[in-house]
């Protein structure tokens, strides 16, 4: 397979810009998803009236509907009722809500893994619900949830490619536009793959390192 390196060098700055946008969407999407998931898992754990039912409905809805449909609804549907969002804001909200539903399940699994004796000990020394969550439940649940949380982070980074459906010039949309204009499919797809590898490989290595550290701290090996 022969590649047109002139073409690659010419459009490299365009891919670089798209890469930074993809990184930005990934960062904010993961951050907000993490917060949403943590809050939802606590609400579910304590079985807060009404809120726990809302959380269960939210998780079921966003885990079982395609991200593209969610983005289309927010970007094209909400303006019909007077709420207009920019493509980037729409993408971040979509990624956050989708990711939050998966993070909530990951945290829930971590919380359920916390030994009941730990909770009973916390109650015995007079911790209230907030203190119990902060000092006993969340630190341990977080360590148990690291593998699932890491997988969700990778998943959300990949899902940024879906945001090209609302005209965001991320890596995927940039490649599609250039293929449509210049028909250099091999070169465009190569730069697309390399762009995602530049993001995903360091993240994967970092998450593996964190998982090993957490496992070592917990089990000592």
Q: In this predicted structure, which of 53-57, 63-67, 140-144, 192-196 has the lowest mean pLDDT?
A: 140-144
The length of the chain in residues reads 221
Q: What is the mean pLDDT of residues 29-45?
A: 91
pLDDT at 146 over 70: yes
Whole-number pLDDT of residue 24: 94
Whole-number pLDDT of residue 54: 93
pTM of the predicted protein model: 0.86
Whole-number pLDDT of residue 97: 95
Instruction: Please tell me which residue, 63 or 127, carries the higher pLDDT value.
Output: 63
For residue 79, the enclosing domain spans 5-219
Question: Cα–Cα distance between 195 and 198 in angstroms, integer?
Answer: 5
Q: How would residue 119 be classed by pLDDT, with cut points 50, 70 and 90?
A: confident
Whole-number pLDDT of residue 221: 47
Number of structural domains found in the chain: 1
Instruction: Please tell me which residue, 217 or 39, carries the higher pLDDT value.
Output: 39
Percent residues over pLDDT 90 in the chain: 41
Q: Tell me the pLDDT of the chain averaged across its residues.
A: 87
Whole-number pLDDT of residue 218: 56
pLDDT at 111 over 90: no
Whole-number pLDDT of residue 145: 84
The CATH number assigned to the domain holding 184 equals 1.10.3720.10
């Amino acid at each position: 397979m022969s590649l047109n390196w002139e073409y690659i060098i010419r459009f490299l700055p365009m891919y670089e810009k798209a890469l930074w946008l993809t990184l930005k969407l990934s960062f904010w999407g993961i951050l907000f998803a993490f917060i949403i998931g943590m809050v939802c898992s606590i609400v579910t754990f304590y079985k807060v009236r009404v809120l726990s039912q809302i959380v269960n409905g939210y998780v079921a809805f966003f885990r079982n509907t395609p991200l593209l449909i969610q983005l289309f609804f927010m970007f094209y549907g909400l303006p019909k009722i007077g709420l207009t969002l920019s493509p980037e804001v729409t993408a971040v909200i979509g990624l956050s809500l989708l990711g939050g539903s998966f993070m909530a399940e990951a945290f829930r699994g971590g919380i359920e893994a916390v030994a009941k004796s730990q909770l009973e000990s916390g109650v015995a020394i007079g911790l209230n619900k907030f203190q119990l969550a902060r000092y006993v439940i969340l630190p341990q649940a977080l360590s148990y949830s690291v593998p699932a949380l890491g997988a969700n982070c990778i998943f959300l980074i990949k899902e940024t490619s879906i945001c090209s459906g609302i005209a965001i010039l991320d890596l995927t949309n940039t490649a599609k536009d250039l293929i449509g204009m210049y028909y250099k499919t091999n070169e465009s797809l190569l730069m697309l793959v390399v762009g995602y590898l530049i993001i995903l490989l360091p993240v994967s290595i970092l998450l593996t390192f964190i998982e090993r550290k957490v496992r070592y701290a917990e089990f000592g090996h």
